[in-house]
Structure 1
Amino acid sequence: MSAETVARTSRDRSWWGWGWADAQPDDAECVALGALVPGTLARPLPLPEVADLHIGRPAAEAPRSLGHLVTYDPEERASHAMGKAYRDVARALRGRPGRIPDLVARPARDQDVADLLEWAGERRVAVVPYGGGSSVVGGVEYRGDAHRAVLSLDLTAMDRVLEIDDDSRAARIQAGVLGPALEDRLRPHGLTLRHFPQSFEFSTLGGWLATRAGGHYATGRTHIDDFTQSLHVVTPAGTSTSWRLPASGAGPSPDRLFLGSEGTLGVITEAWMRVQERPRHKASASVSFTDFQAALLAVRALARSDLAPANCRLLDAGEAALSGASRDGHAVLVLGFESSTGPVADRLSQALELARAHGGRADADGQDRGGPADGAVGAWRSAFLRMPYLRDGLARMGAVTETFETATTWDRLPALIDAVRTEVGAAAHKATGHPAIVNCRLTHVYPDGAAPYFTVISGGRPGDEVAVWDDLKAVAGEVLHRHRATVTHHHAVGRDHRPHYDLQRPEPFARALRAVKRTLDPGGILNPGVLLDG
């Protein structure tokens, strides 16, 4: 184990908020954040304590044969009760986290998973698969009372790289490995999965697979699907293992059945993943635009070129100011290129020339320095990693903050962005009586469309923050549906996006999915309420 990994594991995760407990904003920083948003509290809400939740006795206990796998510790149960959405943080701060799991299990092998599922099925215990717990869509909590007890199935003890195939450049990896540990295990071989979602530090391979997570690449291989060679899945009806193949036309893909299934069809325990050599050449730059519409055209041209930037993120003026990438009211395009085989400076130069042709001004670059450029690029990266912690600080000040992402085609994109800014902003103002900040950035771009990511910040309604958030989520979902934009591009469906996911999917597919659920999970114990009714 590397020194870096030891340092990480010696720190405590926050049970109620994002990331490391010692990285949360202190009271003074919370007050400073609150001063930026009209209508916040005079002082921050106190940090919540597990003892204040008065967690009761578990409604079910595992048999002695499984006792070595489970814990009933109140803090463990509280930390597995929900994910890390604003809704979750606000509930924890108010002492209302929802249904607390009765027990937490950490299986070490496939047979442990199968045995736990068998026991849960016999006792009608709901099983919620759990990786890093970073879900922002209600994907790792139980809602309702149809099951006598709830088991949180934590996969993080299954965290090894089991095998590496150098000939095929692939690795067989257990699903519970967290992002940093996975990279630590691949690094001695000169390899990387090169999948870096914002939650990278606190999410697992299994979580990425189960939610079809989007990662580092802004073009090309944007989703975990693109790196998946085969899956091994334990279900109540048996184990499914797909063949390792570079490609196949043999009917519907069995892997596609479980990618994005969010733990409701089976438990992904390992996967063969396509890995690659670590990049040695990097170049990055920022480009500013006075006209956001012109910037959209520049990004579309880049997506349709063969330049394939690894990073191609467009920040509107508000998002650029929030991240410190720009203070002059300009939109900022953050560009990055990387390669394991040769210099990328020429591709960056071509991209900058294309951006200039659409009215952009190149501000800085770090051609082949092996890392991101200073200035706007560095500021954006720092803000990107720090933003979830700042959201928690704003939550302690009673502010309502929401982020949601989508994807749509280029012809619908401008109208969608305008509608979200106008309608969600108006809904926040109506709900709270305070003006709202509504920012937009593009996180992933394709030849036929893009994935905009929205940030909404407003003063709240003290004690009623979750209701305000629910209202904003409903308005946002309606806007996305009306513009035929997906309810999620990479955050998954969970429970929070269910109403609009149900409207988006074709009904024949919904019937087929229900039939698959009945076949693979006849007792209905796996993550009830995700994708399908419990």
Structure 2
Amino acid sequence: MTHAGTRSWWGWGTVEHAVRGAERTALTGRVAGLLPDADLTVHLPPDVASLALSPVRVTAPRSLAHLCSATPYDRAAHTHGKAFRDVVRNLHGDLRHAPDLVARPRTEQDVADLLDWCTREGIAVIPFGGGSSVVGGVEPRLADGCPALTLDTGHLDRVLEVDPVSRSARIQAGVLGPHLEDQLRPSGLTLRHFPQSFEYSTLGGWLATRAGGHYATLYTHIDDLTQALRVVTPSGTGESRRLPASGAGPSPDRMFLGSEGTLGVITEAWMRLQRRPRWRANASVHFADFTAAVAATRALAQSGLHPSNCRLLDPAEALVNAGVTTGGSVLILAFESADHPLGPWMDRALELCRDHGGHLPAPARHTHTGADGADEAGGGAGADRSWRSSFLRMPYQRDALAQQSLVVETFETACTWDRFEELHAAVTHAANEAIRTVCGTGVVTCRFTHVHPDGPAPYFGIYAAGRWGSTVAQWDDIKAAVCQAIADHGGTITHHHAVGRDHRPWYDTQRPGPFAAALTAAKSALDPAGILNPGVLLPAG
């Protein structure tokens, strides 16, 4: 699905699809019932023309000037990502880290030329895809006096070659999700990577952040769909060999997957594709006990059935985002295939759920489409359909609540199954204590976004009453408490949202010391002037 319209400079998506009217009224009513003492006054964003952006400190050479923009709108729209703290700072007109220039290369040679110029002049380069980072990954948060150029890859947006025999395609990194799928559709193939940011994020961004996508099991990360990469660095351009698998030493692709623009600019990738699914099966399973629901989800993750969707919603998540009241939880379950009907798979999955006390308020739903398939796992019923609709509106509603002084944000992690109960209790406790201290009242929710045979990826939501002018600081306090709890109880600081600048303190303690030394050496070799996204993954300078 894609929305035509005017991209919002300060918040999610398009201006035309922002929350307003009856949706705003209903949302405000739900929040008032949840947080009756909250001040829900709506604060409008400032006009771009009123923003006090810092003076531009650099001038592009004549050979590159046609690629560069210093308009207030471009600089404002490229200052922050789309995290809660980004949106709130935009609402307050706090754009102190605006880039000096925004460059839009049209060819790979343009990328190389821009990197050469910035290396010579000591200008920081911030690679930028769709700008949907929620961890400070695209913000030029640099040392005072350091000029910055944001390198927007949006013009590198074509599928260059499709190999239907091997089911793969060579794709430019700046293509947005919907445009990518539109170009693949005539071949009957699909990348089938649908993060929540699908409409407003790029292939290069997915690769650079090791994004999690559509699949709840098996192919959960973009890594699993990557065949080969082409990367431009200040020290030269590299291209890995296109292979189904290789045991020839450490993987060159693995070095750049998750590198977050610190080692080079990904310009192209060969990606593994598949036929568009035609058969789908969906069900919503209710549980009276959360612990039993977790056990059922683990059984599914370890069964080899590989459901495409296996999202477990705790009672608060089910109520807030699916409109379902449950004492335990709701498991949203789905299978899909381009090859065969899915009855036996769904039947066995539901049998596993029933073994752990699950029940179906409505029968499983099976559908079959034409050969062209569809872009997303289809249909669903009950809680499944309600949650899916809410899922697509969540970022817009988050922005609307941020305008009303609410602290509304998410954080995610992953851990092994044996650690989940302890981690879940510790994170929930830390979040609630921090909310009580800095906000007074609030709600913490949890869902599983992905599940692996050896552990889940819990995704927590925060809804708390804030004070206008203080909500960024309030969120930062909550975030710090939660991140420390995650680190102390064996979780990862991120399962699929990347490190950026916001997760750096905990990432530094998570990675092994020898690996940090090796990454530092790689940075020095590929980017000797240290211009690429300084401060992300490694200390600047």
- TM-score category of the 2 structures, normalised to the smaller one: over 0.9
Q: How far apart are the structure 1 equivalents of 2:134 and 2:193? A: 18
Rounded to whole Å, the distance in 2 between the matches of 1:338 and 1:428 is: 40
Matched, 1:443 2:442: no
Q: CA RMSD in A?
A: 1.4
The Cα shift of 1:26 comes to 2.3
Cα-to-partner distance string for 1:129-179 (whole Å, 9 max, x where unaligned): 000000000000011225531101000100000001112111000000000
Is the Cα–Cα contact under 8 Å of residues 321 and 390 in structure 2 kept in the other structure? yes
Amino acid at match of 1:187: R
**What amino acid sits opposite 2:425 in the alignment?**
D
Map of 1:379-418 to 2, 5 A cutoff? 379-418=386-425
1:297 is the counterpart of 2:303 = no
Question: Structure 2 matches for 1:127-526, cutoff 5 A?
Answer: 127-145=125-143, 148-364=146-362, 365-370=364-369, 371-432=378-439, 434-526=440-532
Question: How far, CA to CA, are the matches of 1:34 and 1:122 in structure 2?
Answer: 52
SS in 2 for 1:184: helix
1:368 Cα deviation from its structure 2 partner? 2.5
Q: Distance in 2 between matches of 1:332 and 1:167?
A: 40
Q: Which amino acid aligns with 1:395?
A: A
- The equivalences for 1:48-63 within 5 A come to 48-63=46-61
Q: Is the 8 A contact 1:124 1:147 kept in 2?
A: no
TM-score normalised by the chain length of structure 2: 0.95
Within 2, Cα distance between the matches of 1:166 and 1:54? 52
Once the two structures are superposed, what CA deviation does each residue of 1:332-363 show, in whole Å capped at 9, x if it has no partner? 00000000001012211111111011000112
Q: 1:447: Cα distance to partner?
A: 1.1
Deviations, residues 428-466 of structure 1 (Å, cap 9, x unaligned): 11012x222000001111111110000011001331111
2:375 maps to which residue?
none
Superposition deviation, residue 50 in structure 1 = 1.1
Aligned equivalents of 2:57 and 2:313: distance in 1?
Answer: 48
Q: Does the 8 Å CA contact 2:289/2:327 hold for their aligned counterparts? A: no
Q: Which amino acid aligns with 1:331?
A: S
- Cα pair 1:129 1:155 within 8 Å, conserved: yes
For residues 101-149 of structure 1, the C-alpha deviation after alignment (integer angstroms, 9 at most, x for no partner) is 1111110111000000011111111100000000000000011225531
Aligned partners of 1:532, 1:40: CA distance in 2, in Å?
Answer: 39
Paired residue secondary structure (2:59): coil
Per the TM alignment, residue 47 of structure 1 is displaced from its structure 2 partner at its CA by: 2.3
Q: Residues of 2 paired with 1:236 and 1:426: CA distance?
A: 46
SS of 1:164's equivalent in the other structure is strand
Deviations 1:260-313 (A, max 9, x none): 000000000000000010000001000000100000000000011121100000
Partner residue, 1:32: 29
- Unaligned runs of 5+ residues in structure 1 are none
Asked if structure 2 preserves the Cα contact closer than 8 Å seen for 1:231 and 1:272, the reply is: yes
For the 8 Å contact 1:409–1:448, the answer to whether it is kept is: yes
Give ranges in structure 2 of 5+ residues lacking alignment.
370-377
Residue matched to 2:84: 86
| Whole-angstrom CA distance in 2 between matches of 1:438 and 1:277 | 39
* Aligned partner of 2:12 among 15, 18, 28: 18
Q: Distance in 2 between matches of 1:93 and 1:207?
A: 25
Query: Identity percentage over the alignment?
Result: 58
Instruction: Work out the CA distance in 2 between the residues paired with 1:41 and 1:369.
Output: 48
One-letter code of the match for 1:22? E
Q: Using the TM superposition, give the Cα deviation of residue 56 of structure 1 relative to its aligned residue in structure 2, in angstroms.
A: 4.1
How much has 1:374 moved relative to structure 2? 2.0
The TM-score with structure 1 as length reference comes to: 0.96
Deviates more, 1:291-300 or 1:40-49: 40-49
Maintained 8 Å contact 2:434/2:478: yes
One-letter amino acid of the counterpart of residue 62, structure 2:
R
Letter in 1 for 2:19: P
Q: Distance in 1 between matches of 2:96 and 2:316?
A: 34
* 3-state DSSP of counterpart to 1:408: coil
